[in-house]
């Protein structure tokens, strides 16, 4: 595949996930008063940070000779990201539900 295409795709992925991490951090800081919400935001941050790794590995697959290993890192990063986002959503739902009942 064309390396330029890989770098563009990878660049978009890295920049947007890094921006997402920044905005999650802003949101987390804004909800400092609600301690129950700290965990979901943190988990969401981890999830998106894993997406940064997955996006970075796209460009690595273009330049690295260890194509198979990079692919393994890619899929692992995607799965870990999905896991963290899932956990973030579960805890967020719990946190908001408890807050409502409280």
Partner 1 sequence: MVISKRRSVCVFLIFIFALGVLILPNLVRGYSSYTSIRHEAPLQGSQVEILHALEVQLNAHNVDGALAFFAENASVYDPTTISCYGGTGFLCEPSELISSYTSKAQIRGWLEYLAQVNLEVQEIGVPKIIGNNVTWSWQVSNDGYRELNIAPLVGTGEAVINGNLIQYISFRLNTDSVRALRAALALYSRSPFFLAAESIAVGLVALGLVFPGVAVYYVTRVKRLFATVPKLDKPWILLGAGLGSIFVSVLLVALREFAGVSPNIIDPFFDGAVSFSSVSVMSAVILMKRVMLGEAHE
Interface with partner 1 (CB under 8 A), residue from 81, 98, 101, 102 = 81
d(CA 43, CA 87): 7
Residue among 27 and 42 whose Cβ is closer to partner 1: 27
- 26-65 positions binding partner 1, by CB under 8 A: 26-27, 30, 44, 48, 51-52, 54-55, 58, 61, 65
- Percentages helix, strand, coil for the chain (3-state, rounded to 5) are 90, 0, 10
Least distance between partner 1 and beta carbon 56 (Å): 10
Is the distance from CB of 51 to CB of 17 less than 8 angstroms? yes
Phi and psi at 30, nearest 5°, equal: -70, -30
For residue 86 the two structure tokens come to 């899932």
Determine if 79 is a binding residue for partner 1 (CB under 8 A): yes
SS3 100: helix
Residues making contact with partner 1 (CB under 8 A)? 1, 5-6, 9-10, 12-14, 16-17, 19-20, 23-24, 26-27, 30, 44, 48, 51-52, 54-55, 58, 61, 65-69, 71-72, 74-76, 78-79, 81-83, 85-86, 89-90, 92-93, 96-97, 100
């Amino acid at each position: 595949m064309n390396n330029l295409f890989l770098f563009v795709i990878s660049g978009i992925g890295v920049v947007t996930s890094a921006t997402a991490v920044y905005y999650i951090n802003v949101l987390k800081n804004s909800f400092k008063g609600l301690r129950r919400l700290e965990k979901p935001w943190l988990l969401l941050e981890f999830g998106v940070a894993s997406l940064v790794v997955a996006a970075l590995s796209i460009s690595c697959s273009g330049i690295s000779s260890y194509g198979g290993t990079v692919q393994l890192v890619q899929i692992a990063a995607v799965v870990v990201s999905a896991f963290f986002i899932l956990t973030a959503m579960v805890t967020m739902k719990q946190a908001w539900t408890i807050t409502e009942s409280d």
